[in-house]
C-alpha cells in the first residue's frame, strides 16, 4: 500500500515545468481534442469547424478562432483576444482581457504537438497541433 501511495505521489509531482523558452511552441494553429471536466468525465471532439490560432511574443499574445477550408486556407475575421503570460509559484497563466470580460487559464502542458489549459472551473482543454487541410488533390502547395 505504501509503495502505491509513494508511486502516485511521484507521478503527481512530475508535472511539466514550463520555461519561458517553451512559450514559442504555442504559436500556430491548435485543434481541440477533448475537454476533461473536474469530475473526470471527458468530452471528445471528433470534428472541429474552427481552430484556435495563437501568436505570442515577449509574454504578450493574441488568440483567435479560424475556420479551416478544404483548399488548405483559413477563414479569419477581426475578432481576437489579447492575453499576457504570467509566471507565478512555478505555474504559468494566460491572463485574457477583452472589452467585455477578463479571465485566466493555467498552462498545464506544452510541446510541439500538444497543448493543455485549465480554467478556473477546473476544466482541462486538450489541443493537438493543427495545420492546413487540403483534400482537393490538385497537388498545389497550401499556405
Report the run of H or E that residue 66 belongs to, with start and end. Answer: strand 60-68
Half-sphere exposure of 49 (CA within 13 A, CB side): 0
Residue 25 DSSP symbol: G
> CA of 2: how far to CAs of 7, 9, 10, 28, 32, in Å?
9, 11, 12, 44, 38
Return mean pLDDT, the chain: 85
Most confident of 2-6, 25-29, 40-44: 25-29
pTM of the predicted structure, to 2 decimals: 0.79
Question: What digits encode the pLDDT tens for the residues 75-107?
Answer: 998 899 999 999 999 999 999 998 899 999 999
pLDDT surpasses 90 at 128? yes
Amino acid at each position: 500500500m505504501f509503495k502505491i501511495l509513494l508511486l502516485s505521489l511521484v507521478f503527481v509531482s512530475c508535472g511539466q515545468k514550463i520555461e519561458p523558452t517553451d512559450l514559442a511552441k504555442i504559436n500556430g494553429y491548435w485543434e481541440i481534442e477533448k475537454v476533461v471536466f473536474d469530475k473526470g468525465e471527458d468530452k471528445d471532439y471528433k470534428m472541429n469547424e474552427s481552430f484556435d490560432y495563437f501568436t505570442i511574443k515577449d509574454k504578450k499574445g493574441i488568440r483567435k478562432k479560424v475556420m479551416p477550408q478544404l483548399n488548405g486556407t483559413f477563414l479569419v475575421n477581426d475578432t481576437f483576444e489579447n492575453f499576457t503570460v504570467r509566471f507565478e509559484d512555478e505555474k504559468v497563466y494566460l491572463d485574457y482581457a477583452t472589452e467585455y470580460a477578463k479571465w485566466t487559464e493555467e498552462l498545464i502542458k506544452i510541446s510541439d504537438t500538444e497543448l493543455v489549459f485549465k480554467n478556473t472551473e477546473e476544466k482541462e482543454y486538450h489541443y493537438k497541433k493543427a495545420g492546413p487541410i487540403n483534400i482537393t488533390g490538385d497537388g498545389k502547395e497550401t499556405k
